[in-house]
Structure 1
Amino acid sequence: MTAERPLLFTNARLIDPASGKEERGGVLVQDGLIQDVGPYVAVATDAEVVDCGGQVLAPGLIDMRAFIGEPGAAHRETLKSAGEAAAAGGVTTIMSMPDTNPVLDDPAIIDFVMRRARDTSIVNVRPAAALTKGLKGEEMAEIGLLREAGAVAFTDGDRSVTNAQVMRRALTYARDFDALIVHHVEDPDLVGTGVMNEGEFAARLGLPGIPREAETVMLERDIRLVRLTGGRYHAAMISCADSAEIMRDAKSRGLPVTCGVSINNLALNENDIGDYRTFLKLSPPLRHEDDRQAMIEALVDGTIDVIVSDHNPQDVETKRLPFSEAENGAVGLETLLSAALRLVHSNGVPIAKLLRAMSTRPAEILGLPGGRLQRGAPADLIVFDPDAPYVLDKRQLRSLSKNTPFDEARLQGQVTATMVAGRIVFDRLNVSREANV
C-alpha cells in the first residue's frame, strides 16, 4: 500500500484559536498530522495543492454535547448520520451522551459504541459515560472501569442528579481518577410543569414558566460540592445572567470548574418561540434577551468556556404536538458554526475567540489532542467562508431528524471542506483526491 501524497492548503486565512494567531498562509498535511503551517510552507513537488481562495482554515470543531439515538433509537439518529451532519457543519469530534438504550453505564457498551463509531462515522466520536447507573441518580456508576474503557467524561445527559450525597461521592471518586463530571444544572422540582422561560412572554402565551432559579439553585449547590471535594466539574449549559455570575465567582476563587452554553441560548431568545414553535422547546429554555446578552458577555470575558450544539434529534411524533406536550430538543450539529457566526457579524465577537470556545477549550477540558493549528497536531481541519449567505432548508439537513430551530433562517457562514485525521470527509472545494467516506 503506497503512502498518501501530502496535501497542501494554500491561500488561506489561518486562524489558530489556541495561540490567537491569525495570518495568511498554508497548511501541509501528511500521515494524518499537520506537518507545517504558516505563511511560508516548504513542500515536496508531489503534494496535492488546494487553493482555499482566502477562506478561513481552522481546527475542526469539538462538540461536547450531542445526543445520538444509536443504540436503541436509530430512527432518530445513527452514528453514521450524526457523523455526516457533523462533517457538513465543521464538527470533527463529537462527545456523545449516554442516554441510549441500553444506557452507557457498562464498559462493554462503551466499547460497542466506540467500535461502531469507528466503523460507521466519518468524524471522531468520544462517548461520555453515565454518571449514575441507569441515569437514575441513585447509585454512582463504575467511573474507574468506564474511564479505562474510553469514556472521556461522566454525565447523566439531560437529567440532573438531585441527591447531593450522590453528587458529592461522584465528585470525590472522580477526583482520584482525574475524571470530568459534566452536569445538567436544572432542578426538576423547580422546573415542575414549566415549559419555557418564566416571565411576561410565557404569561402572554398562557404557558407555565421555568424560573431561572431552577438553574441557579442547582449550580450553586454543585459549586459548593466542588469546593468540598476538589473534583473537576463542568456545568453542561448555563443560560442566564445569574449563572454567569456564579461561575465567574467560582473561577475567581480558583475552583476546578468550567461551563458551556448552548448555541441556541447565544443566537435565540424566548421571543423566537413566536406562535408556539415546538422546535424551540429546549432545556434549558430560551431566555430573555437580557440573559442572551449576558451569555455573550460571559463568552467574551472567558467565564463561559465552550459552545455546544446540544444536538438532540426528535422525530415528528414527539414534536408535532401542543407546545406543553412536545419533547425538548433540537438538532444542531450542522448549523453550529453558521449560527455561532451570527455573534461575529452582529455582536462583534472576535472570530478567534468564537473558534476557541468550539475547538481549543473543549480539547483542553476533555484532554484531546485537537483544537490547535500547529505542527504535530491532528489534521482535523475545516475550511469555511464566514460571509457566505444562505437560507436553511431543513429538508436538506443530513440528520435523520429535522427539528432545527433555524428552519428558513437566513444564516451567514458556510463550511466548504472538513478533514478528519488527514482525510477529506466533506468537500465543497473539489479536492482532487477521492474523499474517504
Structure 2
Amino acid sequence: MRLMVENIRILDPQQDIDQVTNLYVARGRILGIGKEAPEGFEADRIINGTGKWLFPGLVDLQARLAEPGSHYEGTIASETKAAVSGGITTICCPPDTMPVNDSQAVTELIQRRARQAATAFVLPIGAITKELGGQYLSNMAALKNAGCIALSQANSPIQNSLTLKNAMAYAASNDILLMLRSENKNLKNNGVAHSGVVSSRLGLTEIPASAETAALARDLILVEETGVRAHFSLISTARSVEMIADAKKHGLPVTCDVAAHQLHLTEYDVMDFDSLFHVTPPLRSHDDKAALRIGLKMGVIDAIVSDHTPLDRDDKLLPFGESAPGISSLETLLALTLKLVEEDVLDLNQALAKVTNHPANIIGLHHGSLETGNSADFCIFDPETHWTLERKEMISKGDNSPFQGWEFRGQIEATYFQGRPVYQNNPV
C-alpha cells in the first residue's frame, strides 16, 4: 500500500526534523518526507494529519512478553498489542523466560512467535550464563548468530567477579553488547524497599543504594579492563549517575537506561504497603529521582525503558514483602516520558530521542527513525487528547500498574508497523 500522511507535524530526533509536512510510505518502507512527493508516487490512501503529530515507533530496551511460558501474564501476541497501543514498535525482551533464553532453540521460538503475531519487532536478549545461574557461560557467539541483539542476566546479576570478567572478555572479542544490571546480592540481603525513612517506618527489609553502586563500581572496573561494550540497565541512584558520567568522561564504551517509573515515583509511594509499587530496583529517594532526571537532561542516561513485567493479580495481592516485583508498563512508557516535557525536565526532542533513536543506536539498529528506506514504523499522536489510566481497560494481560487514575495529555491515535496499521484508537 502506498500511503501519504499530509499536513502533520513530523518529529524525528535522529534527523533533527520538527516541521509540518508530509510523509510517504510504499511497500512497508519510508519513501520520503517533504511537501513534494517522490517522483512517480501516487498514494492509495491519504491521511489528513492536521493538528496531529507523527514520530517514529518507540524502541523499548527492556520489556518482558511472558513467552515462552513463565510466571508472567500474557503472550507475545497479547503484549505486542499492548506495546503498539502505546506507540512501541520495537521490543527487546530479557532472557528470564521459561525456559531461559540461553540457547538457539529458545531464541528461534521467540522470533517465530513474534513473526506469527506480526505486530512489532521482538528482539531477543540472550542469557550470559546457562539458566541465568551465574556460573557457566552460555554459548554466547551462537546466541548472537541466532539473532540475539545483546546478552544479559536480567535480574540475576553475576556475583562471581571472575565469571563476569571472563564473560566480558569473550563478549569483547566477539563484539557482543552486554546489558548489565548492577546489584550486589549480599548487600541486597533479600530486601524489598529502599533503605531510608520509609522502610524504617514500615519495617520493610531494606535495599541500600550501595547494593547497586558497589556492584556498578566493580562492573565499570571490569569494563575498563576488558574493553567490552556495556549497557547498564535500570540504574536508580544518584551515585550511579555520577559514576557513569565519570566513566563516559574517561572514554569507557558504556551507556545506560532508567525505568520510566523511577522518574515519577519515590519511596514515599510505598507508604500504604501497596504492592503495585513493589519493583526492583526499588523506588528510591527524592534526591535519587532528581538526580536521575538531571542525568537524563545532561545526556548521562541514554534511554528510558518500560521494564514491563506483566503479573497475575494474585502476585500483587500478597503482602508487600511477599509480592512479586514489577509493573505492567508498555502502555505508559510514552505518557510518562512526555510528562517530563510538561514538567520542563526535557524538551520534546530530547524526550522522544530517549525512546526512539537513542535506544536504537545502543543496539546498533536502524529503528526509531523516519529515515528514507527504513521500515515504516511510526505513530500518529493527538497532543490535545486527555485521558486517564484505568487498569481494567489496559490491553496487557497484566494490569499491575501503580498509575491507576493518573491523567495524561496526548494519546496515540494510530500505530503503523512495516507500513500497516496495527493499532487504531480513533480511525484516522
- TM class by shorter chain equals over 0.9
Q: Which residue of 2 aligns with 1:299?
A: 296
Q: Which residue of 2 aligns with 1:236?
A: 233
Distance 1:92 1:132 in 2: 28
Distance 1:250 1:148 in 2: 30
Instruction: Return 348-357 or 65-74, whichever deviates more.
Output: 65-74
Identity in percent: 37
Query: For residue 218 of structure 1, what is the amino acid of its counterpart?
Result: A
1:175 corresponds to 2:172: yes
> Of 308, 316, 341, which residue of structure 1 is paired with 2:313?
316
Distance 1:130 1:348 in 2: 35
- Go from structure 1 to structure 2 and tell me whether the alpha carbon gap of 1:38 and 1:295 turns closer, same or farther (over 3 Å shift): farther
The question of whether the paired residues in 1 share the 8 Å contact of 2:236 and 2:292 is answered with: yes
Distance 2:384 2:399 in 1: 25
> Of 10, 13, 24, which residue of structure 2 is paired with 1:14?
10
> Of 73, 97, 100, which residue of structure 2 is paired with 1:100?
97
1:33 corresponds to 2:32: no
The question of whether the paired residues in 1 share the 8 Å contact of 2:72 and 2:309 is answered with: no
CA drift of 1:156 comes to 1.3
Query: For residue 15 of structure 2, what is the amino acid of its counterpart?
Result: S
Q: How does 1:20-419 map to 2 (within 5 A)?
A: 20-42=16-38, 44-73=41-70, 76-419=73-416
Distance 1:294 1:163 in 2: 30
Secondary structure of the corresponding residue to residue 410 of structure 2: strand
Query: For residue 34 of structure 2, what is the amino acid of its counterpart?
Result: G
Distance 1:348 1:156 in 2: 31
- Go from structure 1 to structure 2 and tell me whether the alpha carbon gap of 1:387 and 1:196 turns closer, same or farther (over 3 Å shift): farther
CA drift of 1:373 comes to 2.0
Secondary structure of the corresponding residue to residue 245 of structure 2: helix
Instruction: Return 242-251 or 96-105, whichever deviates more.
Output: 96-105
CA drift of 1:206 comes to 2.1
Query: For residue 322 of structure 1, what is the amino acid of its counterpart?
Result: P
The question of whether the paired residues in 1 share the 8 Å contact of 2:32 and 2:372 is answered with: yes
TM-score, L = length of structure 2: 0.97
Instruction: Return 347-356 or 231-240, whichever deviates more.
Output: 347-356
TM-score, L = length of structure 1: 0.95
Query: For residue 65 of structure 2, what is the amino acid of its counterpart?
Result: I
Deviations 1:402-437 (A, max 9, x none): 101211211222111111111110113424xxxxxx
Number of residue pairs matched?
Answer: 427
Secondary structure of the corresponding residue to residue 128 of structure 1: strand
Distance 1:305 1:428 in 2: 30
The question of whether the paired residues in 1 share the 8 Å contact of 2:6 and 2:49 is answered with: yes
The question of whether the paired residues in 1 share the 8 Å contact of 2:293 and 2:345 is answered with: no
CA drift of 1:166 comes to 1.0
Secondary structure of the corresponding residue to residue 414 of structure 2: strand
Q: Which residue of 2 aligns with 1:435?
A: none
Secondary structure of the corresponding residue to residue 334 of structure 1: helix
Distance 2:382 2:330 in 1: 17
Gaps of 5+ in 1: 432-437
Deviations 1:16-74 (A, max 9, x none): 11133211111101111110113444574443111123222111101010112211237
Instruction: Return 301-310 or 114-123, whichever deviates more.
Output: 114-123
The question of whether the paired residues in 1 share the 8 Å contact of 2:72 and 2:311 is answered with: no
Distance 1:40 1:106 in 2: 49
Distance 2:321 2:118 in 1: 35
Distance 1:132 1:348 in 2: 38
- Aligned-residue RMSD, C-alpha: 1.4
The question of whether the paired residues in 2 share the 8 Å contact of 1:201 and 1:271 is answered with: yes
